[in-house]
Amino acid sequence: MLTNFPTIETRLHKFRDLRTEQKTGGLNRLPKRDATMLKKQLSRLQTYLGRIKYMTRLLDIVIIVDQQEEYTT
């Protein structure tokens, strides 16, 4: 995720815009089909990007704790 941050950043902007539209009621003014498609897209973005929605720049350092090795059996 951090290796392609410019792509993630554009998706985060789209996510924030859709959330703003939903909160202000902008999605209700659209046709039913378009509103449904945008709500599905918002739900998908919430699933994948919800935890990093306020990240505005690439992190300086990442610390990974308790990484387990992969075992192939």
CA distance 14 to 28: 18
Assign 61 to helix, strand or coil.
coil
- Ordered by start, the domain boundaries in the chain are 1-72
- For residue 63, the model assigns a pLDDT of 73
CA distance 28 to 71: 50
CATH tag for 1-72 (out of 3.40.50.1240, 3.20.19.10, 3.90.1150.10, 1.10.287.610): 1.10.287.610
In 1-73, where does DSSP find H-type helix? 5-24, 32-49
- For residue 2, the model assigns a pLDDT of 66
- For residue 35, the model assigns a pLDDT of 92
Give the pLDDT confidence of 12-67 residue by residue, as tens digits.
Answer: 999 999 999 999 988 889 899 999 999 999 999 999 888 888 887 887 777 777 66
- pLDDT of residue 69 exceeding 80, the answer is no
Please check whether residue 45 is in contact with residue 16, taking contact to mean a CB–CB distance below 8 angstroms: no
pTM of structure: 0.70
